[in-house]
Structure 1
Amino acid sequence: MRDPVQFWNCAGEQFARCADDPNSFFARRTALVAELVSHHVLPGRMLDIGCGAGQLCFELARRGFDVHGADLSSVQIEMAIQSARGLLDIPEKRFQVCAPHYLPFDGHFDLITVIGVLSYVEDHSAFMHRTLSLLKPTGMLVVSCTNSLSLFTFAEVIRHMLSFRPQRAWFSVLANLVRTGLCSGGCVDFRTARQCRSAATLDRLCRQSGLKIEETLDLYNIDWDLLDRMPFERGRLSRILSRHLGWTHIGAYRLDKR
């Protein structure tokens, strides 16, 4: 099992370059999450957990949010700080390195986003409890999970099989893809991890945590010009298919006051 801090410090620069490419899945995902947020939340104080190099924070800052970001990777936090200079005031206080069980910000937030992070968290229930303690009673949580069973995972498994190598690393990547839909496997111990690996299990955890669903968004990451074209305008059947066959499930949730 790899250390997630070491993993993201090593992969941080490469991922940031990909996330900055407007034609990449991750850049499009960032834009869609910002659009999802704008459907439901007025600009206010926000925290992006797992902010990487700050792409989502910058997108929401342009929409009027008072942005803050935390990430395990000191490499990506430094990139976010440098990118924020001249755009945001005191970027060193807005972007900070966090520990797996500690966030370096005080107070509460109108919006908390957790995108592409849960695969690297071993206990999702405990993580949800800590995160909700920072959310205002009227606030919104926008969180994503990776579906372990998806068209993207199937395609990646086939591609990996075609590059067969009789090496331990090759078999490790195959096992990770099958378990989690990620080549890295999320850097968790599968013997003890308590994770949501589908849209249904994430929605269930959120309901059990006292949240209600405002809106969901499911992305295939197969072909932006076909399967993920205008995802907010899908019909009922298309939504059902994307929920079960998509790679990334994103949900917007509020505290249920019933």
Structure 2
Amino acid sequence: MTDHHHPHQQQGPAAGEEFWDARYSESDRIWSGKPNEVLVREAADLTPGRALDIGCGEGADAVWLARQGWHVTGTDISGVALERAARHAEEAELADRVEWQRHDLAESFPAGEFDLVSACFLHSYGDFPRERILRTAAGAVAPGGVLLIAGHAGGPSWDPDKHAEIHFPTPDEVLAQLELPEGDWEVLLAEAYDQAMTGPDGRPATRPDNALKVRRLR
């Protein structure tokens, strides 16, 4: 399993810093340490500049971007996750290319404009204002820059009815939720796909995911 795969539930208050610090403290590492495949696939042909990784978790995506030549800002609600992310960058000898910032994205957001804003599997527990956060993320994209959003589209193959009560938006629905000004953006990718993964029994499995990639024209 790659980073950022947070289950998503809509009832109750949004999970905060205390919840996520406790979640990350359950083990020495929650995620695989490998970058999300959708990011690797969709950012490989982009010219490195300034990148923002929102919901960066333990830093695998941000470190991968730094290795490709990007100057990266990684942000997460969990200080525990950010400490691990910083260690990951230091071990990769890329600490000078990544800045780590703690933000509860429901309350604050990193300043500045970026050539790439990546929101891979930005799901959380509770009443999480994902649509509003993604609109803010779009506003942080510099002219000519790219916004990449990846999310789950349903339950995994070993439990397809998991989270059946939740509506996972399609790429077209995510695009509509962004409320992008007409003529200012172009859609580069809007697709659903099956992501290969390993099931809890160790056997090959899949999960339906989707991705939206848009470029700001002006």
Flag whether TM exceeds 0.5 (same fold): yes
Q: In the aligned structure 1, how far is the partner of 2:186 from the partner of 2:20? A: 32
SS of 1:220's partner is: strand
2:188 maps to 214
SS of 2:56's partner is: coil
Q: In the aligned structure 1, how far is the partner of 2:196 from the partner of 2:72? A: 31
Decide whether aligned partners of structure 1 residues 56 and 10 sit closer, same or farther in structure 2, where only a CA change above 3 A counts: same
Q: Residue 216 of structure 1 contacts residue 249 of structure 1 at CA under 8 Å; is this kept in 2?
A: yes
SS of 2:107's partner is: coil
Pairwise mapping of residues 152-191 of structure 1 onto structure 2 (< 5 A)?
A: 152=156, 155-156=158-159, 177-180=163-166
Q: Is 106-115 or 44-53 further displaced after alignment?
A: 106-115
AA aligned opposite 2:59: G
1:171 maps to none
Gaps spanning 5+ residues in structure 2: where?
1-11
SS of 2:159's partner is: helix
1:25-50 deviation line (CA, Å, top 9, x unaligned): xx4x61331221123x2000101000
1:64-87 deviation line (CA, Å, top 9, x unaligned): 111110000111001111222251
Q: In the aligned structure 1, how far is the partner of 2:187 from the partner of 2:29? A: 30
AA aligned opposite 2:209: T
SS of 1:128's partner is: helix
Which of 4, 28, 39 pairs up with 1:33?
A: 39
Which of 3, 20, 23 pairs up with 1:8?
A: 20
Pairwise mapping of residues 1-258 of structure 1 onto structure 2 (< 5 A)?
A: 1=12, 3-12=15-24, 14=27, 16-20=29-33, 27=34, 30-39=36-45, 41-85=46-90, 87-90=93-96, 94-99=99-104, 100-103=106-109, 105-119=110-124, 122-148=128-154, 152=156, 155-156=158-159, 177-180=163-166, 197-206=169-178, 208-210=179-181, 211-221=185-195, 247-255=208-216
Higher alpha-carbon Rg = 1
SS of 1:85's partner is: helix
Q: Residue 146 of structure 1 contacts residue 248 of structure 1 at CA under 8 Å; is this kept in 2?
A: yes
1:24 maps to none
Q: CA RMSD in A?
A: 3.1
SS of 1:214's partner is: strand
Between structures 1 and 2, the one with greater strand share? 2
Q: Residue 16 of structure 1 contacts residue 52 of structure 1 at CA under 8 Å; is this kept in 2?
A: no
AA aligned opposite 2:119: V
Decide whether aligned partners of structure 1 residues 178 and 215 sit closer, same or farther in structure 2, where only a CA change above 3 A counts: same
AA aligned opposite 1:109: F
SS of 1:102's partner is: coil
Could you tell me the TM-score, scaled by structure 2's length?
Answer: 0.74
SS of 1:18's partner is: coil
Could you tell me the TM-score, scaled by structure 1's length?
Answer: 0.64
Task: Give the deviation of 1:256 after TM superposition.
Answer: 5.0
Report runs of 4+ in structure 1 exceeding 6 Å deviation: 224-228
